Structure 1
Amino acid sequence: MHTALISETASTTSNTSQNVLKMAGLLLISIGLLGILVAAVGADYISPVFTGLGGTLVLTVGALVYIWQSRWHKSPAEQNHGRWHQEATSRGPSAWVIGFVLTGFYVLLYWFPDTLQGLIQATEPLSQWLRGRPSDQWFLYGTFYTLAILVMGVYALLKYRNSRYHIIRTISVMFFQLGFAFLLPGLLLMLNKPEYYFSYFWPLKYDYLFPGTIDYLVRDGAALGVFMVFWGAVFSFLATPVLTYFYGKRWYCSWVCGCGGLAETAGDPYRHLSDKSRKAWQWEVAILYPILGFVILTTLFLWVNSWSEGRLLGDLSGGFASTYGFFIGAMFSGVIGVGFYPLMGNRVWCRFGCPMAAYLGLLQKHFSRFRISTNGGQCISCGNCSTYCEMGIDVRWYAQQGEPIIRASCVGCGICAHVCPRGVLKLENGPREDRYAGSPLIRRDELRILS
Structure 2
Amino acid sequence: MKMIEKVGLGLFLIGLIAFLVIPFLGSYTLLEEQVWENTKDIHQEKMAELLAPMYGKEYGSNFSFLSAFRENFNSYNDQLKSEQVWDQVIWDDYSFPLAKAALQSPVRDNPWLFFGVSLGLAALGGFLYNFRQHADEPAGVKNNGIFHSSMKNRGLLGMLTGSLLILFYIVLYWFPAYLVNLVWMVNPISEWLSGGPASQWFLYGLIYTLAILVMGVRMFRKYRGNKYQQLRTASVMFFQTAFAFLIPEILVLLNQPYFDFKNIWPLDYDFFYDYQIDTFLSSGGVGMFMLIWGILLIIVGVPVFTYFFGKRWYCSWVCGCGGLAETVGDPYRQLSDKSVKAWKYERWIIHSVLVLAVVMTVVTIANYFSGFALLGNVTNQLHSFYGFAIGSVFAGVVGTGFYPFMGNRVWCRFGCPLAAYLGIVQRFKSRFRITTNGGQCISCGNCSTYCEMGIDVRWYAQRGQEIVRSSCVGCGVCSAVCPRGVLKLENGPEENRINELPIIIGNDSIKIKL
Q: What residue number does 1:223 align with?
A: 285
Q: What residue number does 1:31 align with?
A: 14
Write the letter of the residue equivalent to 2:10. L
Q: What residue number does 1:46 align with?
A: 106
* Structure 2 residue corresponding to 1:360, chosen from 422, 433, 458: 422
* Structure 2 residue corresponding to 1:387, chosen from 441, 449, 455: 449
Q: Over the residues paired in the alignment, what is the CA RMSD in angstroms?
A: 1.5
Q: Within 5 A, what are the aligned runs for 1:33-432?
A: 33-44=16-27, 45-47=105-107, 49=111, 50-77=113-140, 79-219=142-282, 221-432=283-494
Distance (Å, rounded) in 1 between the aligned partners of 2:300 and 2:132 = 45
Write the letter of the residue equivalent to 2:237. M
Q: What residue number does 1:448 align with?
A: none
Moved more, 271-280 or 57-66: 57-66
Q: Could you tell me whether the CA contact under 8 Å between 1:39 and 1:122 is conserved in 2?
A: no
Q: Percent identity?
A: 51
Structure 2: tracts of 5 or more residues without a match: 28-104, 507-514
Q: How far did residue 214 of structure 1 move?
A: 1.4
Give the 3-state SS of the residue equivalent to 1:207 in structure 2. coil
1:435 aligns with 2:497: yes
Q: What residue number does 1:11 align with?
A: none
Q: How far did residue 265 of structure 1 move?
A: 0.5
Structure having the higher helix fraction is 1
Distance (Å, rounded) in 2 between the aligned partners of 1:442 and 1:312 = 61
Distance (Å, rounded) in 2 between the aligned partners of 1:228 and 1:159 = 38
Distance (Å, rounded) in 2 between the aligned partners of 1:118 and 1:317 = 36
Distance (Å, rounded) in 1 between the aligned partners of 2:429 and 2:242 = 31
Q: How far did residue 321 of structure 1 move?
A: 1.3
* Structure 1 residue corresponding to 2:4, chosen from 6, 12, 21: 21
Q: How far did residue 114 of structure 1 move?
A: 0.3
Would the alpha carbon gap of residues 269 and 327 (structure 1) be closer, same or farther in structure 2, given more than 3 Å must change? same
Give the 3-state SS of the residue equivalent to 1:206 in structure 2. coil
Moved more, 53-62 or 159-168: 53-62
Q: Could you tell me whether the CA contact under 8 Å between 1:376 and 1:439 is conserved in 2?
A: no
Structure 1: tracts of 5 or more residues without a match: 1-17, 444-451
Distance (Å, rounded) in 1 between the aligned partners of 2:241 and 2:140 = 30
Give the 3-state SS of the residue equivalent to 1:76 in structure 2. coil
Q: How far did residue 309 of structure 1 move?
A: 2.0
Give the 3-state SS of the residue equivalent to 2:475 in structure 1. coil
Q: How far did residue 307 of structure 1 move?
A: 2.0
Q: Could you tell me whether the CA contact under 8 Å between 1:35 and 1:52 is conserved in 2?
A: no
Moved more, 62-71 or 140-149: 62-71
Give the 3-state SS of the residue equivalent to 1:139 in structure 2. helix
Q: How far did residue 408 of structure 1 move?
A: 0.3
Q: Deviations over 1:421-444 (max 9, x none)?
A: 10000000001012124875349x
Q: Could you tell me whether the CA contact under 8 Å between 1:345 and 1:390 is conserved in 2?
A: yes
Q: What residue number does 2:39 align with?
A: none
Would the alpha carbon gap of residues 328 and 315 (structure 1) be closer, same or farther in structure 2, given more than 3 Å must change? same
Q: Could you tell me whether the CA contact under 8 Å between 1:53 and 1:122 is conserved in 2?
A: no
Give the 3-state SS of the residue equivalent to 1:373 in structure 2. strand
Q: How many residues align?
A: 426
Q: Deviations over 1:285-317 (max 9, x none)?
A: 111101101011001101111222222213111
Moved more, 65-74 or 378-387: 65-74
Distance (Å, rounded) in 1 between the aligned partners of 2:272 and 2:235 = 26
Q: How far did residue 80 of structure 1 move?
A: 2.6
Q: Could you tell me whether the CA contact under 8 Å between 1:375 and 1:439 is conserved in 2?
A: no
Give the 3-state SS of the residue equivalent to 1:56 in structure 2. helix
Distance (Å, rounded) in 1 between the aligned partners of 2:139 and 2:265 = 38
Q: How far did residue 227 of structure 1 move?
A: 0.4
Give the 3-state SS of the residue equivalent to 1:89 in structure 2. coil
Q: How far did residue 75 of structure 1 move?
A: 2.4
Distance (Å, rounded) in 1 between the aligned partners of 2:350 and 2:141 = 35
Runs of 4+ in 1 over 4 A off after TM superposition: 437-440
Would the alpha carbon gap of residues 218 and 176 (structure 1) be closer, same or farther in structure 2, given more than 3 Å must change? same
Q: Could you tell me whether the CA contact under 8 Å between 1:374 and 1:439 is conserved in 2?
A: no
Give the 3-state SS of the residue equivalent to 1:427 in structure 2. strand
Q: How far did residue 27 of structure 1 move?
A: 1.9
Write the letter of the residue equivalent to 1:365. R
Give the 3-state SS of the residue equivalent to 2:133 in structure 1. helix
Distance (Å, rounded) in 2 between the aligned partners of 1:165 and 1:424 = 16
Distance (Å, rounded) in 1 between the aligned partners of 2:137 and 2:251 = 43
Q: Deviations over 1:39-89 (max 9, x none)?
A: 221144533512234421111111111111222222234643111110000
Would the alpha carbon gap of residues 43 and 131 (structure 1) be closer, same or farther in structure 2, given more than 3 Å must change? farther
Q: Could you tell me whether the CA contact under 8 Å between 1:106 and 1:335 is conserved in 2?
A: yes
Q: Deviations over 1:203-253 (max 9, x none)?
A: 10011123331111221x211000000110001110110000000000000
Distance (Å, rounded) in 2 between the aligned partners of 1:81 and 1:377 = 26
Distance (Å, rounded) in 1 between the aligned partners of 2:212 and 2:404 = 16
Give the 3-state SS of the residue equivalent to 2:489 in structure 1. strand
Distance (Å, rounded) in 2 between the aligned partners of 1:215 and 1:156 = 41
Q: Could you tell me whether the CA contact under 8 Å between 1:253 and 1:357 is conserved in 2?
A: yes
Output the TM-score relative to the length of structure 1.
Answer: 0.92
Q: How far did residue 322 of structure 1 move?
A: 1.2
Output the TM-score relative to the length of structure 2.
Answer: 0.81
Write the letter of the residue equivalent to 1:179. A
Distance (Å, rounded) in 2 between the aligned partners of 1:171 and 1:397 = 31
